[in-house]
Structure 1
């Protein structure tokens, strides 16, 4: 009954074209009426899901090809707030604001006048921190429905009674997985099973949360560089705000908190007055802050990243290349934001290694030519997909691999000779094997005490459940 209500609600949204979020668009003068800046597309890891196909490659299967096997790594849906963001950035601002509204008149600067009566969307932190929002559940359900249309022939037959979806053990990832299953089968009776992979340090490489099992990983890496940039870009904003407001001084972390609240409040309430406070350049500076942070923490700026992502990449390559190993044609896995960048690093995508870190991310100006933009990779429900294409020719059928990041085709470096710039399966296997040879030593680089022979591998996909 609950599913029918959710499904009906989603159907009504789709039919009537109702959006869950208010559009937050900055437009130029009418002489440049083509210019549009969507703030919600520049919020890094707290952006509602969106698609950005800047390369304009067609995500549909190329002519003469069909997808006969696929594997998805999916980030969970939108949450009320992340624990670190709330504890160290947002809550300190809220505490200061709650005291200030008693004696500060924010209407002296009209843009800030709403602060006199504004209330936080995070009303019960103990229950809401890291919990899915309503929109997060609906969007995960919608994702399942979209996948059911794209991969209709890969779904289990009517006489098959089970379908596994893998997830890390957090409540938000499991709830997202359950909603995806409901959308995937659209009310059809099927024993969809969520396989819970514990998020503990003893898992080694056999995990969906390698940042927790790798002892060398440090979540604060990149914070120093990002905070240098925050001090730089917030100066002009602080001068603008503090020149009009008396008995109160905004500080750099307040600016970061208000920009984060734009994202979190939007996925909770559908709209946030904080979004209209800042200019295009100020939003790009906010986005750049997290690009710096994540580049150094979980991407090429951290030498650990390809090692952390390689176990999943190698296991998934084996699934796509060997039909004997498995009995599903669609592998869906739901986990956290950190997993997507380390997978992309293991795959060698978005690689800016020909530049020094300082040149890629200078801390006194934005590098507008950079390749890495976290907003386009890790929004809520962001995903990396590997599709196996079965393509027919006049002589035979051949298999190819294609990678999609949030439905945008990302060609594999040096292997784009296949249909739709895909990579021949054998060449892809060779490509991954070479990278695996370079990044296979998870145990050694993470300084884990080796207790069994399989700790460097991810094995749970092949385990019978």
Structure 2
């Protein structure tokens, strides 16, 4: 049975990309605009299945004459049934309202073609206590597939057998979904070989008093607010859902949809797709309405985890510094590929530390608030979380050692979901990379711009630390 499962996984992962596990819900335009294809699953922000979008044209392959000699990855976990906040605040209230409405004589969904499926539809979450926050079946396959991809990308960085000196390590925060993602990834990395024969997953505590020595620094930062961005996002939610509610009301179903109901239905498009393989909630909204949903979460994460929260770079910097130091080591170590699994928050914090996707830089303004108006979408924004933190979204740092006619020496480049992303004012190397000494200077300058973790978080617990030391 185990062998059959591994063969099946291998066949699937060699044939399909992660996004192809689910049917693409594509919205097209008229016959004179045949190039327009809007894939809904690529606009669900943190609910999007993994996908890649290369807008700068840079090849993810190592440049000619260059070899990747070290790499560090920070990876978000694979698909889950739902996270606890979405379920408790959005999905459950809608599911209860829908359940109660089934007994009301004046509610009839069958009269509305777009919503007729609600007459017999049932929730994909059948046992919230056992399912919420847990990986879906497809989530395990996604993580396995990702491991296989990195095995093909870095065969020279992977040990083929365990040595007495050390074992190959993958790190993961202690939550069930990150741990399971890391285990499935490990299986894919080694083609299904039991991970303890080659290496092991190192679990990192998610405690409230871990300081910066954790993969979940937002949980050990007393000043971090989960509710940050909610006020601004809710203003936009009420603004954009007004026309949707009016459209649904005109269908004559008798159900009084609220803004929260609309949000829940759009979230269910993502969650139900990764649970059941498809969702009838996806095609009932227009591309404009999906862009509005995407903008809702971009606003929320901007003020919670992005440049709209002053402390964000301080929370992401410990990983950047620790990983950069690993890449800067001249000596060959027992392990040159460092992969860590965490939650959706951490990659966004790291991107602010690196100074990437800053709306203000692109808009030519200094006031971050002007880049996220709450009465219209800023279509020119750089901060698009669908492209940053889909399921298994990741930030990677690669050290390239080059010996070519045009470039000799060591360079560092940033990959965001496998796509090269040049750093501001630090991209003179091959394929937009940065010379290693310049890169280290860049990180040091960025580090100096922000308060250390303990100070910015107002830490009062004892034995805190400003350093991420899990890799040593």
- Measure the CA separation in 1 of the matches of 2:234 and 2:219: 24
Q: How does 1:231-310 map to 2 (within 5 A)?
A: 231-310=238-317
Contact 1:101 1:115 in 2 (8 A): no
> What is the deviation of 1:158?
3.5
- Measure the CA separation in 2 of the matches of 1:442 and 1:368: 33
- Measure the CA separation in 1 of the matches of 2:8 and 2:288: 37
Q: How does 1:365-384 map to 2 (within 5 A)?
A: 365-384=376-395
- Gapped regions of structure 2 (runs ≥ 5): none
Confirm whether residue 387 of structure 1 aligns to residue 401 of structure 2: no
SS at match of 1:265: helix
Identify the residue that residue 96 of structure 1 maps to in structure 2: 97
> What is the deviation of 1:244?
2.2
Confirm whether residue 144 of structure 1 aligns to residue 147 of structure 2: yes
Identify the residue that residue 425 of structure 1 maps to in structure 2: 436
> What is the deviation of 1:101?
2.1
- Measure the CA separation in 1 of the matches of 2:342 and 2:211: 16
Stretch of structure 1 that moved more, 242-251 or 221-230: 242-251
Contact 2:241 2:262 in 1 (8 A): yes
Alpha-carbon displacement from aligned partner over 1:260-307 (angstroms, at most 9, x marks no partner):
000000000110000011000000000000000000000000001000
Change (3 A) 1:299 1:9: same
- Measure the CA separation in 2 of the matches of 1:395 and 1:73: 31
Identify the residue that residue 202 of structure 1 maps to in structure 2: 209
- Gapped regions of structure 1 (runs ≥ 5): none
- Measure the CA separation in 2 of the matches of 1:429 and 1:411: 15
Contact 1:205 1:458 in 2 (8 A): yes
Aligned counterpart for 1:413 among listed residues 405, 424, 441: 424
- Measure the CA separation in 1 of the matches of 2:456 and 2:243: 42
Confirm whether residue 43 of structure 1 aligns to residue 44 of structure 2: yes
- Measure the CA separation in 2 of the matches of 1:423 and 1:90: 44
Aligned counterpart for 2:352 among listed residues 329, 345, 354: 345
Change (3 A) 1:38 1:447: same
Contact 1:440 1:456 in 2 (8 A): no
> What is the deviation of 1:184?
0.5
> What is the deviation of 1:421?
1.0
- Measure the CA separation in 1 of the matches of 2:88 and 2:115: 23
SS at match of 1:22: coil
Contact 2:66 2:404 in 1 (8 A): no
Aligned counterpart for 1:158 among listed residues 155, 158, 161: 161
- Measure the CA separation in 2 of the matches of 1:16 and 1:186: 15
Contact 1:443 1:450 in 2 (8 A): no
Stretch of structure 1 that moved more, 313-322 or 149-158: 149-158
Contact 1:169 1:197 in 2 (8 A): yes
Change (3 A) 1:281 1:164: same
Identify the residue that residue 455 of structure 1 maps to in structure 2: 465
Change (3 A) 1:315 1:117: same
RMSD between aligned residues: 1.7
SS at match of 1:204: coil
> What is the deviation of 1:29?
1.0
Stretch of structure 1 that moved more, 435-444 or 64-73: 435-444
TM-score, reference length from structure 1: 0.96
Q: How does 1:160-239 map to 2 (within 5 A)?
A: 160=163, 162-188=167-193, 190-239=197-246
SS at match of 1:282: helix
SS at match of 2:209: helix
Matched pairs, number? 460
List structure 1 segments (4+ residues) > 6 angstroms apart after TM superposition: none
Aligned counterpart for 1:360 among listed residues 371, 377, 386: 371
> What is the deviation of 1:411?
0.1
Alpha-carbon displacement from aligned partner over 1:2-42 (angstroms, at most 9, x marks no partner):
3x333211233246659321110001112211110000000
SS at match of 1:158: coil
- Measure the CA separation in 1 of the matches of 2:143 and 2:16: 18
Identify the residue that residue 124 of structure 1 maps to in structure 2: 127
Q: How does 1:63-74 map to 2 (within 5 A)?
A: 63-74=64-75
Contact 1:319 1:326 in 2 (8 A): no
> What is the deviation of 1:248?
2.0
Contact 2:174 2:206 in 1 (8 A): yes
Identify the residue that residue 6 of structure 1 maps to in structure 2: 5
- Measure the CA separation in 1 of the matches of 2:321 and 2:259: 42
